[in-house]
Amino acid sequence: MSLAILHWSLFASQLMLGLAMLAALWRIVSGPRAQDRILALDALYVVALLLLVTLGIRTNSQVYFEIAMLIALLGFVGTVALAKFLMRGEVIE
């Protein structure tokens, strides 16, 4: 009983997170300007991180947290570099 509740709620949440990733992907593809695409990329990596956390609950393993941590670190650096590039025209001056 309790296992079924957890199973179906995790299924529903993964479905919703997948839809959220599709929405962000649509904005990346069709964003009118570069800043829209960067914003959608930022949202996309956060949703991917959350999807990995729910996958970790489903498979009862802790390997996914390391990957989620790595995505959080590298996504921050990537978005900051892209925003800096939009602002100044180059990343490291």
Partner 1 sequence: MIANLPLWLSILVSAAVVLGSALTLAGCFGLVRLPTFYLRIHAPTMGTSLGGGLILLGSALYFSLTQGRVVFHELAIFVFVTVTTPVTLMLLARATLFRDRVEGGSAVPPSFRKPEPLATEAEMQTGIVETKAD
- Helix, strand and coil percent figures for the chain, each rounded to 5: 85, 0, 15
State the binding string over 12-51 for partner 1 (x if CB under 8 A, else -). xxx-xx-xxx-xx-xx-----x-xx-xxx-xx--xx-xx-
Outline where 1-33 has alpha helix (H). Answer: 2-30
- The reply on whether position 91 binds partner 1 by CB under 8 A is no
CB-based contacts of 24: which residues, under 8 Å, 6+ apart?
40, 41, 43, 44, 47
Binding residues (CB under 8 A) for partner 1: these are 1-3, 5-7, 9-10, 12-14, 16-17, 19-21, 23-24, 26-27, 33, 35-36, 38-40, 42-43, 46-47, 49-50, 53-54, 56-60, 62, 65, 68-69, 72-73, 76, 79-80, 83-84, 86-87
